[in-house]
A and B are shown apart, each in its own frame.
Chain A
Amino acid sequence: MTVDPIHQFNIDKWFTIGTVGSREIAFTNSAMFMLIAVLSIAVLMIGFTHRQALVPGRLQSLAEISYEFVADTLRSATGEAGMKFFPFVFTIFMFVLFANVLGLLPYSFTVTSHIIITAALALLVFFTVIVYGFWKNGVRFLKLFVPSGVPGYILPFVVAIEVLSFLSRPISHSVRLFANMLAGHITLKVFGGFVTMIAGFGIAGWFGAALPLVMIVILTALELLVAFLQAYVFAILTCIYLNDAIHPGH
């Protein structure tokens, strides 16, 4: 029996929505799960908060907790001035979180395990920082690349290094989320493959197969933690990068 741990990341075209030029816009399984994530967020945030009960029920308090969590994170990273970015950060956090967690369900597709998705999110943050930084601070935004207290003769090197460091942000920002999701899901599938392989050896195999099965249970719990953690890390890095646009100069 062959196990293909990569097969779960296949993009399947379901139907074509339309064409732009000669390029067709297809509705894929990835698009489906993005839609599911967005709809479940909408149901949670709109459907369960419209009653506005003073003593919240379970789902209303879940919505309120997620609001408080993101608001506190953003406020502590960027100060009160950064709160105008709250809708942006909250959207990113909830989308990544729901995409990660929905991807853990059996037979589902993990949207964030494709680098094109995470890179699009990271580049969105990157360009938001650049555009807002220049719009808000003008040329003073470039002070981000000129640390104070550096002697003049090494300043060109320092500025070049700072610029490269700035340019490398979207890469590490996107690769981190994508690679964590990819590696975790491949690990789960590989261990799942072990179970069926070892179980094929007969009676002794049945006992041997229990070991990777236990590992899968443990790894699934770990993956759930990683799903939350990576969504949080993605959001907090967004906050930190936005902070540079709001308060340039170290």
Chain B
Amino acid sequence: MGDGTRKNEDEGSRPSDDAALSARLKRLGSQLDASAGRPTRTEPASRPVDSSAMARGFRLSTELVAGVLVGALIGWFLDRTLGISPWGLIVFVLLGFAAGVLNVIRGARAGSGYPYEPPKD
């Protein structure tokens, strides 16, 4: 239905053929863009990462465990090398727990979308 009105406009803009041609070319370009454009670029968060609640829960629990595990490993390593047992383990397990919670919050932030925000540019 849009084509019919556009055809009328074309015949109306008779005065300069060049202007009509360039207008038509521009419209063709924008139509091509519209048909070949990538709608995902404008709405990236709409694509679901997980389909089931189980997958989602599993994903988030891995994030938490990974944080605690890395903290414990670093704390244990510092204890062994610096001989400050047990303070390295205590401090880094707590920090690792915080990092795990941070991971979970980031993972859950966008609901089923991306864990992190897409770039602004």
Interface residues of A (CB under 8 A from B): 72-73, 75-79, 157, 160-162, 164-165, 167-169, 171-172, 175-176, 179-180, 225-226, 229, 232-233, 236-237, 240, 243-244, 246-247, 250
Nearest CB on B from A93, distance (A): 14
Q: What is the total number of residues of chain B having a CB less than 8 Å from a CB of chain A?
A: 35
Residue contact B63 to A172, C-beta cutoff 8 Å:
yes
Selected contact of A165 from candidates B47, B50, B65, B102, CB within 8 Å: B102
Residue contact A168 to B67, C-beta cutoff 8 Å:
yes
A162-B99, A169-B66, A247-B119 are known; give 12 further A-B pairs, CB within 8 A.
Answer: A72-B40, A76-B38, A77-B44, A79-B121, A167-B70, A172-B65, A172-B66, A176-B59, A226-B55, A240-B115, A246-B119, A250-B117
Q: Is the interface of B mostly helix, strand, loop or mixed?
A: helix
Q: Is the interface of A mostly helix, strand, loop or mixed?
A: helix
Some 10 contacts from A to B, beta carbons below 8 A apart, are A72-B40, A157-B95, A160-B95, A164-B70, A164-B74, A165-B99, A165-B103, A179-B62, A229-B55, A236-B114
Nearest CB on A from B75, distance (A): 10
Neighbouring B residues of A172 by C-beta, 8 Å: 62-63, 65-66, 103
Interface residues of B (CB under 8 A from A): 38, 40-41, 44, 47, 49-51, 55, 58-59, 62-63, 65-67, 69-71, 74, 92, 95-96, 98-100, 102-103, 114-119, 121
Neighbouring A residues of B47 by C-beta, 8 Å: 73, 76
